[in-house]
Structure 1
Amino acid sequence: MKDLLKKSIATIVSENINTATIFRKHNIDFTFHGNMLLSKACEEKNIKLKNIVTELNSVNQNLYYLKDYNSWKLDFLIDFLINIHHEYKEDNILFLKDYGNKVANIYASEYKELKEVNKLIQEVTDSILEHMKNEESTLFPYVKKLIDAKNKNLQIDIKNSPLNDPIDSLEDEHEEVGKTFNKISQLTNNYYIPKDACISFKVLYLKLQQFEEELYKHIHIENNILFPKAKKLERYLLKQQDPYLN
């Protein structure tokens, strides 16, 4: 228990992604404000610390390598984000945009919130696509250059490094996307499916909920694992080039 109390929420999830389920259950944000200590988060949510520690300790600690993102090499982690997470989002965004329009057109007169839900779906999915495009064209290639420089003992040029102000913008975009999905969740009463809903209505809400959960894991991996490690690698290389650099 003492070990958990000394760690931030993001660190706990980074060390064992299985704990994300516990934090999601208690509506504790591990993605955007994961630097908060567990005790502080429990205090804010009025949750008994002892209870959540028991739940966290009960989570299977035998973490398979394929889920132990914190132990992966950065280049492998980037390939995983592109080939798995980005591909998943691209495939499902088209689905969400289509079904968002379809369900709103049929049920918006009966369920007033659907018009706003669909509007948010269309906006946030376009934003996510643009965001992923920027990562794949600028940030990820730069981090791979850093990895190559370390492996081959090469000099690096940090002019216009995307790990400075641009990465802050990416983190801000992450937070805006999170706020939008939080609003969608509120509008849908946490994706509550009416008893008389048709298959399209049910599928839309189930897919939205699944997409949100995967999105938060994706953003957690970037904000709390990839970005900090990339910044650390860049600082290390700069120090190698200039030993007197603070």
Structure 2
Amino acid sequence: MSLLNHSLGSLARDIPGATRVLHHYRLDYCCDGSDLLSEALAKRGLDAAEVLTRLESLPARNEDETNWSRATTDQLIDHIIDRYHEVHRTQLATLSDLSRRVELTHTDHAECPHGLADHLETLRQELESHMQKEEQILFPMLRKGMFTPAQAPISVMRMEHDDHSQALARLMELTDYLALPAGACASWQALYAGIGELYTDLMQHIHLENNILFQTSTRQEVQHG
């Protein structure tokens, strides 16, 4: 079956390196993960042949690369907490401070990202609340195999992921898609580099939950229901 008939989420899950290609073309494989590639390309007016060539030329999965779709629930949750939850807390604290410094120092610059610091602080608070709910409520339920009662909090987490995806889109708008002005200072460069890392990490984080952890939990709920 042509890759055009695969969902964005399944491509991100099953093809090593596909997330980089989808990132490049700004295709949301997290909250729009159920969209078929053909549908997503049509919406964006993208060249299907070009995107397919990029996807089909990706190398096969390295034996040392973890396939998280085959991991246990405990392994995946441990990875999400260690690799993403803890990292996001550090990222957002650093970026909030750095963005305020850049806005204060360059407030009269034509390309100053006014409003970025406030937006990052709002995202930090919302993401911290979200992660605490996962760590204190949802993840313990999944570790105990409580798949049926977990469906309600999973539904809430998916909706909050949609909000996070919109927040990331707003980050790109505020920074003109991370386009640095000529002669940008080191702080400005570090800020946009850090936002780029946050964007990639949070998209991958949401992907692991929406397209692997939550889908697996739903299948388990059906099997045991």
How high is the TM-score relative to the length of structure 1? 0.85
Q: Is the CA contact 1:23–1:29 (under 8 Å) kept in the aligned structure 2?
A: yes
Counterpart of 2:93 in structure 1 is: 94
| Structure 2 Cα separation of the partners of residues 218 and 205 of structure 1 | 20
Counterpart of 2:66 in structure 1 is: 67
The alignment partner of 2:115 has SS state of helix
Counterpart of 2:43 in structure 1 is: 44
Counterpart of 1:163 in structure 2 is: 151
The reply to whether residue 228 of structure 1 matches residue 184 of structure 2 is no
Q: Which region of structure 1 is more displaced relative to structure 2, 215-224 or 13-22?
A: 13-22
| Structure 2 Cα separation of the partners of residues 45 and 140 of structure 1 | 35
**Letter matched to residue 150 of structure 2:** P
For residue 8 of structure 1, report the CA deviation from its aligned partner: 0.9
Q: Is the CA contact 1:9–1:37 (under 8 Å) kept in the aligned structure 2?
A: yes
Counterpart of 1:214 in structure 2 is: 201
Counterpart of 1:189 in structure 2 is: 176
The alignment partner of 1:162 has SS state of helix
**Letter matched to residue 203 of structure 2:** Y
Q: Is the CA contact 1:104–1:115 (under 8 Å) kept in the aligned structure 2?
A: yes
Structure 1: runs of 5+ lacking an equivalent? 147-155, 239-246
1:49-96 Cα shifts (integer Å, max 9, x gaps): 222111101011224454321121111001100111111111212111
The alignment partner of 1:21 has SS state of helix
**Letter matched to residue 171 of structure 2:** I
For residue 141 of structure 1, report the CA deviation from its aligned partner: 0.4
Q: 1:181 to 1:113 in 2, by over 3 A?
A: farther
Counterpart of 2:5 in structure 1 is: 6
Counterparts of residues 172-183 of structure 1 (less than 5 Å): 172-183=159-170
**Letter matched to residue 45 of structure 1:** R
Q: Is the CA contact 2:16–2:58 (under 8 Å) kept in the aligned structure 1?
A: no
Structure 2: runs of 5+ lacking an equivalent? none
Counterpart of 1:151 in structure 2 is: none
1:133-182 Cα shifts (integer Å, max 9, x gaps): 11000000000000xxxxxxxxx695xx2322x22221111111111121
Q: Which region of structure 1 is more displaced relative to structure 2, 168-177 or 221-230?
A: 168-177
Q: Is the CA contact 1:5–1:37 (under 8 Å) kept in the aligned structure 2?
A: yes
| Structure 2 Cα separation of the partners of residues 74 and 68 of structure 1 | 13
**Letter matched to residue 87 of structure 1:** E
**Letter matched to residue 130 of structure 2:** H
| Structure 1 Cα separation of the partners of residues 95 and 191 of structure 2 | 7
The alignment partner of 1:114 has SS state of coil
Bigger radius of gyration: 1
**RMSD between superposed Cα atoms in Å:** 1.8
Counterpart of 1:127 in structure 2 is: 126
The reply to whether residue 199 of structure 1 matches residue 198 of structure 2 is no
